[in-house]
Amino acid sequence: MVRYVKDDVNHIKYESLEDFFKNTNPDNPPATMHRSNSSSHEEIKGNSSWRYGDERSKSKFYQVRFDPTKGKGICAESVKKVMASNAYKDLIKQAMTYRKRVKYEDHGFRLSVPKAIGGEDRYFAVYKNSKKPVVKIAINICGSACVEQSEFIKLAETAIPTIYALEIAGIATEVYYTAFASGTHPDVEHTITHVKIKSAEQRFNWTMFAPVFCLGSYRESIFLSWIYDNHKVSSGLGRPMDSRKIDNYDNFGYTSVIGFNAAGPVQEVNEIFSKLTKK
């Protein structure tokens, strides 16, 4: 786990889900926690049903946060629908262009008749592997206190099919469970928690995404990532960062930030492909 401030943005980074949950254990606050954050910490240690959504309690949240059943059940139909759509099938064809590219040389084995007839010097097609793109995706689950469990589910129903679709298309993804917030700490303008839940080398599996579907991952563990900081937290723990601000910071290095107002999976994939072609 690493904490640092850059350009008035407080970054809190965890290298894995194990690292994240280990360092947001409510029973083990770090010695470096700002002393003024003790009251907020005591509140989190409670067992409010509001904090855990469908799980209703801390114990139930701990029981299911690595259980893939819930997420798979919620998103199975969404994934199936995306894969069956003509729009997605068109995107798959487009994705093939990232795997190989064509160059023309003055010698080779595959003759391009139109180029030869046109009198061009280089008319032999040579296929070369393109550099495999890696898409860095942030699932931004930062929401206000009044956001219902259903909104978190809708977010997951956009993010998961998007990631799954990219993987099937042969596009490697690096995925982070994130919270983009403003005013969380009075002495810095913004705070972002980044939790790596999938590296580019790992294949998609439902277990690694299980915590995304649990409200407690946000309202207990993400909140504790802020409270355990060496900066004093504000009494209301701030507010979600404005999407225009995220754009102004060029997504903080992410190819795509999928939040509560995200477009559908096909639109997200299409936008990502558009960015890749500009590189």
pLDDT number for residue 252: 96
Report DSSP state, residue 219: I
Least confident of 31-45, 130-144, 182-196, 207-221: 130-144
pLDDT number for residue 98: 56
Per residue in 38-96, pLDDT (tens digit) is: 999 999 998 999 999 999 999 999 999 999 999 998 888 888 888 888 888 887 777 65
Record the pTM: 0.86
Q: State yes or no: pLDDT of 173 exceeds 60.
A: yes
pLDDT number for residue 88: 80
Q: State yes or no: pLDDT of 115 exceeds 60.
A: no
Quote the percentage of the chain above a pLDDT of 90: 58
Structure-token pair, residue 131 = 């550099």
The residue that leads in pLDDT, 186 or 269, is 186
Buried b (16+ CB within 10 A) or exposed e, 101-120: eeeeeeeeeeebeeeeeeee
pLDDT band at 109 (very low <50, low <70, confident <90, very high): low
Q: What is the dihedral of CA 247, 274, 134, 209, to 10 degrees?
A: 70
